[in-house]
A = this chain, B = another copy of it.
Amino acid sequence: MEPSSPEVAAAPARPADSGLHARVLEHLGTAICGGELAPGSVLNIDELVDRYAVSRSVVREVLRVLASIGFIEARRRVGVMIRPASAWNVFDPQVIRWRLASAGRIAQLRSITELRTAVEPHAAYLAASRIGRDEASDLVGLAAKMWAAGEAGDEERFLHLDIEFHRRVLLASGNEMFVRLQELVAEVLTGRHKHHLMPHHPHEQALQMHADVAQAIQRRDGERARQAMVQLMEQAFDEMKSLWEQTALPDRSTDGGPTTSR
Instruction: List, in ascending order, chain B residues with CB within 8 A of A123's CB.
Output: 118
Q: Mark A161-202, 1 if CB is under 8 A from B, else 0.
A: 000000000000001111110000000000000000000000
Top 4 closest A-B pairs, CB basis?
A91-B91, A118-B122, A61-B64, A118-B119
User: For window 83-125 of chain A, which residues contact chain B by CB distance below 8 Å?
Assistant: 85-86, 89-94, 111-112, 114-115, 117-119, 121-123
A179 cross-chain contacts in B, Cβ below 8 A: 86
- Bound: A195/B61 CA distance, A: 39
Pick the residue among B68, B89, B122 that contacts A114 (CB under 8 A): B122
Task: Tell me which of A91, A94, A117, A123 has the highest count of chain B C-beta atoms within 10 A of its own C-beta.
Answer: A91
| Contact in complex: B177, A91 (CB < 8 Å) | yes
Instruction: Given contacts A89-B180, A111-B176, list 7 more A-B pairs with CB under 8 A.
Output: A64-B64, A68-B69, A86-B176, A90-B177, A114-B122, A114-B126, A118-B123
Whether B89 lies near A93 (C-beta < 8 A) is yes
Q: Is A31 an interface residue, CB under 8 A from the partner? A: no
The answer to whether A111 and B177 touch (CB under 8 A), given A60-B57, A123-B118, is yes
Count of A interface residues, CB-CB < 8 Å: 34
* Bound: A175/B60 CA distance, A: 32
Residues of A within 8 A of B (CB): 21, 57, 60-62, 64-65, 68-69, 85-86, 89-94, 111-112, 114-115, 117-119, 121-123, 126, 175-180
Q: How far apart are the CA atoms of A126 and B91 in the complex, in Å?
A: 20
| Distance, CA A117 to CA B123, complexed state (A) | 10
A contact patch SS = helix
Residue in A57, A62, A122, A179 whose Cβ sees the most chain B Cβ within 10 Å: A122
CB distance from A115 to the nearest CB of B (A): 5
CA distance A119 to B123 in the complex (A): 11
Interchain nearest-CB distance for A238 vs B (Å): 15
The interface residues of chain B lying within 8 Å CB-to-CB of A94 are 68
Q: How far is the CA of A91 from the CA of B85 in the complex (A)?
A: 17
Complex Cα gap A123–B118 (Å): 8
A57 to B86, CA, bound (A): 30
Q: Is the CB of B175 within 8 A of A115?
A: yes
Tell me which residues across on chain B come within 8 A of A91, comparing CB atoms. Answer: 89, 91-92, 177, 180
Task: Provide the bound-state CA to CA distance between A21 and B67, in Å.
Answer: 12
Q: Which residues of B contact A92 (CB under 8 A)?
A: 68, 89, 91-92
Do B178 and A115 touch (CB < 8 A)?
yes
Do residues B69 and A176 form an inter-chain contact, with CB atoms below 8 A?
Answer: no
